[in-house]
Structure 1
Amino acid sequence: MDIITLHSIWTLVLFISFCGVLWWACGKNRQSRFDEAANLIFDDEPEESSKEQKQGGMK
């Protein structure tokens, strides 16, 4: 087995792995979990402190 055959097999393994990750990430079962994770950045402050900041800035 020469180096070209090994590179071809490795490329095929990586391509199949990539397709597997894509299939996993785009699955309908994970959509709600990913949406929740995408909105986590907005949940770091309690609403009371953000309301106080808005009112304090308007004075």
Structure 2
Amino acid sequence: MDINDLRSIITVAGLLCFLAIVGWAYGKGSRKGFDEAAKLPFAEDDDDGAAENASHRR
């Protein structure tokens, strides 16, 4: 086994990891979570200082 065999194995492993991430991202189960996360910047807060008040409570 020489360095080129090791490089080939690492390349194949990287490709498999990439395909696994793509499969997870485009899977049916992930859509709901991604849709909720996409709407977060547009969510209205009831109180403008809610984030400041929440961080100081302990």
Q: Is TM more than 0.5 here? A: yes
**Number of corresponding residues:** 48
Question: C-alpha displacement at 1:18, in angstroms?
Answer: 0.5
1:24 corresponds to which residue? 24
Higher relative contact order (CA 8 A, sep 6+): 2
The unaligned stretches of length 5 or more in structure 2 are: 49-58
- More helix per residue: 1
Find the structure with the greater CA-based Rg: 1
What TM-score results when the alignment is normalised by the length of structure 2? 0.72
The CA RMSD measured in Å over matched residues stands at 1.7
The unaligned stretches of length 5 or more in structure 1 are: 50-59
What TM-score results when the alignment is normalised by the length of structure 1? 0.71
